[in-house]
């Protein structure tokens, strides 16, 4: 948000990932992903799958969704945030972490 690429934490994720069809949960906001209150459930366990594979997997099946907005940790929330950042910056997530976190903090061996 500091770079102006995301207007607000209340932006809908469909604005940034229109290819993700989530009709059953159309009101999921950026902050829902970061707080793990999106209601999006995923049972993907293939740790070798790329983020794009995971997105493709989500678009090809119905997602489990609950609109009660209770905290439920699920890696898919962070995977979707990473996809949004990669799309906005047009860079892989490892480069973004290096550029936005490690370099400004002058971290070398972390």
Bridge partners for 12 per DSSP:
29
pLDDT at 88: 92
Task: Write down the pLDDT at residue 4.
Answer: 85
d(CA 40, CA 67): 9
Task: Report pLDDT for 60.
Answer: 53
User: What's the pLDDT score for residue 58?
Assistant: 64
Instruction: Determine if the pTM surpasses 0.85.
Output: no
pLDDT at 68: 66
- Where exactly are the structural domains of the chain? 13-102
Looking at residue 8, its pLDDT comes to 92
Each of the 110 residues of the chain gets a pLDDT tens digit; together they read: 578 888 899 999 888 888 776 665 668 899 999 999 888 777 665 656 666 666 666 655 555 566 667 888 888 888 889 889 998 999 999 999 999 888 888 888 76
């Amino acid at each position: 948000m500091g770079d102006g690429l995301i207007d607000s934490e209340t932006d809908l994720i469909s604005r940034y990932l229109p290819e993700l069809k989530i009709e059953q949960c159309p009101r999921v906001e950026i902050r829902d992903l970061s707080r793990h209150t999106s209601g999006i459930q995923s049972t993907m366990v293939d740790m070798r799958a790329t983020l794009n594979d995971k997105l493709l997997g989500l678009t090809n099946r119905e997602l489990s969704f609950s609109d009660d907005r209770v905290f439920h940790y699920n890696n898919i929330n962070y995977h979707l945030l990473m996809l949004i950042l990669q799309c906005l910056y047009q860079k892989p997530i490892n480069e973004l972490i290096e550029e936005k976190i490690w370099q400004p903090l002058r971290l070398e061996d972390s």
